[in-house]
Chains A and B, each alone.
Chain A
Amino acid sequence: MAMPQSAVEPQPAKAAPPAFESWGRYPKYDAKIVPLNWQSDFPGVMTGLHGGALPVGLGRSYGDVCLLKDGNLLLTTGMDRLLDFDPATGVLTAEAGVSLAQILDFAVPRGFFLPVTPGTKYVTLGGAIANDIHGKNHEAAGSFGNHVPSFELVRSDGSRRLCSATQNPDWYAATIGGMGLTGVITWAQLRLRSIVSRKIDYEGIQFHGIDEFLDLKQQYQNVEYTVSWVDCASTGRNFARGVFMLGEHSKVSGELKRSPEPKLSVPFDFPGFALNHTTVSLFNSVFFHKQMKAHVKTVQDYEPFFYPLDAVLHWNRGYGKRGLVQFQYAIPWQHAKEGTIEILREIAKSGLASFLAVLKAFGEIPSLGMMSFPQAGIMLALDFPIKPDLTFPLLKRLGDMTLEFGGRLYSAKDAAMTPAQFQTFYPQWRQFAQYRDPMLNSSFWERVTGGGPTL
């Protein structure tokens, strides 16, 4: 679908795009890329560099948690070696820059799978730990850090620490969900789970409204993977309609080959008007009615179940040059239902709703990280295209509502939290700040703490 040149937005004075962008492509900050290709490269590479540094991976976090304006981004993706695997325990040891896609390529043919996976496999092992990511099986498995028995943390003073629940447990807790600020993770262990097939036994059930969603959650609480798509654009009769999606690894032995390489990619930025209220509403209706029947049961491959958007590389370009922002909260059960209804109303009213809103219940398994995001209750995540006059005031309102309902926002998805909001969501931030490496910093951290105290 080639666009005529004239349909493209007038180009502002041509500035080179930054060397590293976050997935939301907002904000855009220049930084120097400093590759870490070997476990021994840090902190030696810091010699002669000016400004702070931040270890980064594949740039799949959305806002500025993986950015450092005018600083040095320590690109870890060259540190992608598999070091050890014990088939008896399923424990894989790998360098931190290895991607979950590479881990799957290794694990699946051997009958193993990730213990927890986010909605994209293009994140690094180190990034998954640093953001303590979660997946569709949070209720059964907790977050990613719960499956990382140990890792090595290297500080800018050259000290190396083996971190686990029993060795350097404080550093272990600070680094899981520590946003890359505590040091560089050189290698980590990950406890894989066994599978007998690539297939997922899938069920999709339509629901209308949060009550029906909560009923379904109750009814299917023993199913490992659950997630819901929810329509945030519709009001009235269709308010909070959605599809409750369930999956379990098939117990029937099947093929265990590795996935083919992805073929589709969005090769250019869509013009700014490509996503508007009409196209988004249309998309949501199509998605809802793609599942014509109220209840569908089928068997599908794990790729479309876990990674529907990975099939199109760089789908974020669909939002154009301006990029997108994500909004993701977790509200504890006490106010989860009313909070979700109020926030969904506010979003629908704004008319800024997005393609995909994801609704899910978080379970009771506590995360191991000091700054981890998940907490038992309801989680909602959605994208907004950036419309400067509208999007940020809305995000401020939604952030305040989250606060009011006792919830918190996810730093890995954030580009708009205010310092006051962050410091209320994460009152332990001052304690965490003591573990920050004095040489490491991020634009997120600067924004929400003003630099913050260090050791």
Chain B
Amino acid sequence: MSTLVTRPLDASLAASSEAVIAKKILVLGATSGIAEATCRIWAAEGAQMFLVARNAEKLAAVAADLKLRGASYVGTAVADLDDTDKHAELLAHAVNSLTGMDIAFLAHGILGDQARGEQEFEHAAQIIYTNFMAPVSLLTWLANYCLQRHAGVIAVLSSVAGERGRKSNYMYGASKAGLSTYLSGLRNRVDREGVTVITIKPGPVKTSMTAGMKGAEKFADVHKVAATIVKAIDKRVDTLYVPIIFLPIMFIVRHIPERIFKKLNL
């Protein structure tokens, strides 16, 4: 039933093989550390990609790199995804450029400043807006696009931080909790129509978002995380904890009684 064929081949070899169909992938937040590492794997497979990011200079460097690493097409658009009014136009343009879309990968988001969010509602609202409201706007368009075709994979970066609120990052966590809940509802609606929704819940990963954080050297390697994500998308899993150790860890974290949890320093 899948129209996607995974190709463990080198891109240069793959290009000559007509039996293989290049994946058409839309990446939102393409300059995020996890998105870029994931795109490098897709590029080596010869994928066609459309990349959206906010910073033109960074996007140009990522696009040039993916092209050289084997992507058979790389289109780009500079956009601030907080600008939800422009989403429909942006997504239509992306899908036109790709002449279709097999996978949408939503990877944009901000960590925000927890301490600042505790004092300034404006900042808390910003975190919720970027990490939850903007994806909801994108998902509305993308889900309906896929539904019309009864095909497509929508893979979204949420976070283990959304599983339980902790004093150190509950602004970010709440935005991701909302996103995860939205995704499970969306999956419940569209999966029976042939559209796959994948909720990706990474633990801490070594990227620019986590640079300088305490214990950052022990965080997961972004290239391993990316390889796991590519496999999960090929296998169309529903929810992915990555690294997998976060599946049992988060099971425990979810089940600690609140009367104990509220006293922990997390």
Please give the residue numbers on chain A whose beta carbons come within 8 Å of chain B beta carbons, in ascending order: 19, 33-35, 37-40, 78, 81-85, 95, 106, 109-110, 257-258
Contact = CB atoms under 8 A, between A and B. Distances in A.
Interface in B16-63: 33, 57-58, 61-62
Interface stretch (B64-72, B108-116, B142-150, B184-192): B64-72
Contacts of A39: 57, 61
Q: Which of B68, B69, B212 gathers the greatest number of chain A CB atoms within 10 Å?
A: B68
A83 B65 CA distance: 5
A258 B10 contact: yes
Nearest to B58: A38
B12 A35 contact: no
A84 B64 contact: yes
A33 B69 CA distance: 28
B64 A82 contact: yes
B135 to A, nearest CB: 23
Interface residues of B, number: 15
Given A84-B68, A110-B12, A78 B57 contact: no
A84 B217 CA distance: 31
Given A81-B64, A95-B61, A35 B10 contact: no
A161 to B, nearest CB: 18
Interface string B205-226: 0001001100001000000000
B201 to A, nearest CB: 23
A19 B217 contact: yes
B64 A40 contact: no
Contacts of B58: 38, 40
For the complex of A and B, list the 5 residue pairs with the smallest distance between their C-beta atoms, beginning with the closest. A81-B65, A82-B68, A37-B208, A35-B211, A83-B64
A144 to B, nearest CB: 21
B12 A83 contact: no
A154 to B, nearest CB: 13
Contacts of A95: 61
Contacts of B12: 109-110
Interface in B73-128: none
A81 B61 contact: yes
B208 A35 contact: yes
Given A37-B208, A40-B58, A109-B10, 16 more contacts: A19-B217, A35-B208, A35-B212, A38-B61, A40-B57, A78-B33, A81-B61, A82-B65, A82-B68, A83-B64, A83-B65, A83-B68, A95-B61, A106-B68, A109-B12, A257-B10
Contacts of A35: 208, 211-212
A84 B68 CA distance: 7
A82 B10 CA distance: 17
A263 to B, nearest CB: 15
30 contacts: A19-B217, A33-B212, A34-B211, A35-B208, A35-B212, A37-B33, A37-B208, A37-B211, A38-B57, A39-B61, A40-B57, A40-B58, A78-B33, A81-B61, A81-B62, A82-B64, A82-B65, A82-B69, A83-B61, A83-B64, A83-B65, A83-B68, A85-B68, A95-B61, A106-B68, A109-B10, A109-B12, A110-B12, A257-B10, A258-B10
Nearest to A32: B212
Contacts of B212: 33-35
A35 B62 CA distance: 17
Contacts of A258: 10
B261 to A, nearest CB: 29
A35 B57 CA distance: 18
B77 to A, nearest CB: 19
Contacts of A37: 33, 208, 211
A130 to B, nearest CB: 21
B69 to A, nearest CB: 7
A19 B213 CA distance: 13
Nearest to B61: A81
A109 B14 CA distance: 13
B264 to A, nearest CB: 24
Nearest to A34: B212
A33 B219 CA distance: 15
A110 B68 CA distance: 11
A107 B68 CA distance: 10
B11 to A, nearest CB: 9
A109 B46 CA distance: 15
A38 to B, nearest CB: 5
A44 to B, nearest CB: 13
A447 B164 CA distance: 50
A78 B208 contact: yes
A34 B57 CA distance: 21
A379 B247 CA distance: 55
Contacts of A83: 61, 64-65, 68
Contacts of B208: 35, 37, 78
A284 B12 CA distance: 43
B69 A106 contact: yes
A38 B207 CA distance: 12
A84 B69 CA distance: 10
Nearest to A19: B217
Nearest to B11: A109
Contacts of B211: 34-35, 37
Contacts of A257: 10
B176 to A, nearest CB: 22
Nearest to B64: A83
A24 B65 CA distance: 33
A140 B16 CA distance: 37
A83 B67 CA distance: 9
Nearest to B63: A81
Nearest to B69: A82
